[in-house]
Amino acid sequence: MVFSEAMKNSEIFFGKDIISLDQFNRKSIEFLFQQTIKIKKIFMKKGRHDGRPYRPLDGKIITLLFFEPSTRTFSSNSAAVKRLGGQTIEHQNPMQNSSVVKGETIEDTIMMIEQYSDAVVIRHPQVGTAEKVAKVANIPIINAGDGIGEHPTQALLDMFTIYEKYGYLDNIKGLVVGDLLNGRTVHSLIKGLSIFKNITLYLLSPKQLRLSNKDLEKAKKRKIKLVEIKSFEEIPTDCHFWYWTRVQKERFIDKSEYEKLKLSFILTKKLVDMKAGKNTLLMHPLPRVGEIETAVDSDPRAVYLTTEAKNGMYVRMALFSLILKS
């Protein structure tokens, strides 16, 4: 469902699923970001609002159902709920420690979990799973990554990080590097940024890991300018952000192919000094597995281990407070 322009701001998100960036329009993203800014300010002041603890999720329980490994997404969702006064039921690796082992379907699992929860955050290796379970659930479902499909909240936190830095998302120029074929964060980021005007993204990846022709055609229809480049020499020096991604080992059937491609493009301090602008954000959805030198970490433009990661918690706090607002 697309968030309607006609709805009042306070009703845009209430009770809704978050499955895809296709749901969003400019108004809903900008409203979410304003709420994120408010919540970030509150919690920079140690979680107090008007002199009182800010706990809009008091009495709420959110289930985190993660069929794939996660550090940041799992932890930031858990922290977001708890900082807002809610509680979590946490299932990591349900393929080994839940009734899925006994043959329970994902639909039955969700229908059971909703008896105990006010919302479910789900990560699953199969594209479309979040959408499938949302059809049978009577509580909000939040997609935390479905295979090579999408990861909408990651894109929202990345977009918020860019927005917070520059104060706008129109007329943005970015560089996206790595596994573009399998990168669900990349797919969502392209969708999200395409909502805004005059966006140009330079795409650098091994030939085998380029965006699919289908994705390129979709982007063309969205009127976002994608420019495929082949080397570091072609990187413009005026990008607002660089978005590095890892080559995703878990998506490869042939592991020898992965070994050949995994370090095709490494972000080095030398490259940053040569090609990045003085305000260029250096971003990565993490984890990194060798494609960013640790020497880059101390660069003031590098936000992947700091601001970008923490903004994930704040954006999710804003989403939870809007979706589950009492």
pLDDT-based confidence at residue 8 (cuts at 50, 70, 90): low
Q: What is the pLDDT of residue 155?
A: 96
Catalytic pick among 40, 72, 240, 246: 72
Q: What is the mean pLDDT of residues 92-112?
A: 84
Rounded-to-10 torsion of CA 250, 153, 65, 78: 120
E strand or H helix at 241, and its extent?
strand 241-244
**Residue 29 contacts residue 156 (beta carbons within 8 Å):** yes
Q: What is the pLDDT of residue 11?
A: 74
pLDDT-based confidence at residue 3 (cuts at 50, 70, 90): low
Q: What is the pLDDT of residue 249?
A: 73
Catalytic pick among 46, 102, 214, 221: 102
What CATH number does the domain located at 9-151+311-323 have? Answer: 3.40.50.1370
Query: The CATH number of 152-309 is which of 3.40.50.1370, 2.40.160.20, 3.50.50.60, 3.40.1350.10?
Result: 3.40.50.1370
Give 36-71 pLDDT, tens digit per residue: 999 999 998 887 877 788 999 999 999 999 999 899
d(CA 4, CA 62): 25
Give the three-state DSSP class for 237. Answer: coil
269 is known as an active-site residue: no
Task: Tell me the domain boundaries of the chain.
Answer: 9-151+311-323, 152-309
151 is known as an active-site residue: yes
102 is known as an active-site residue: yes
Q: What is the mean pLDDT of residues 190-194?
A: 96
When the pLDDT of each residue in the chain is averaged and rounded to a whole number, the result is: 91
123 is known as an active-site residue: yes
Give 277-305 pLDDT, tens digit per residue: 999 999 999 999 899 999 999 999 999 99
Catalytic pick among 151, 184, 187, 284: 151
Catalytic pick among 40, 60, 123, 124: 123
Q: Do the domains spanning 9-151+311-323 and 152-309 agree at the CATH topology level?
A: yes
d(CA 312, CA 305): 11
The residue length of the chain stands at: 326
Q: Which amino acid is at 21?
A: L
Give the three-state DSSP class for 45. Answer: coil
Q: What is the pLDDT of residue 6?
A: 44
Q: Record the pTM.
A: 0.92
- Residues in contact with 104: Cβ distance below 8 Å, sequence separation at least 6, in sequence order: 98
Give 123-177 pLDDT, tens digit per residue: 999 999 999 999 999 999 999 999 888 999 999 999 999 999 999 999 999 999 9
